[in-house]
Amino acid sequence: MTYLTKGNKLFHLAPQSKAFQAFVKLKEVLSSSQVLIAPDFQQPFVIQTDASDYAVGVCLAQLKDSAERPIAFASQKLCATQQRWSTIEKRVMLLFLLCRGLNIML
Residue 17 CA, distance from chain mean position:
25
pTM over 0.85: no
Q: Which fold has domain 18-101?
A: Ubiquitin-like (UB roll) (3.10.20)
Q: Which residues contact 38 (CB under 8 A, 6 or more apart)?
A: 71
Q: pLDDT tens digits, residue range 34-78?
A: 678 889 999 999 988 888 898 988 888 999 888 899 988 888 889
Distance CA 69, CA 64 (A): 6
Domain boundaries along the sequence of the chain: 18-101
Distance CA 74, CA 59 (A): 7
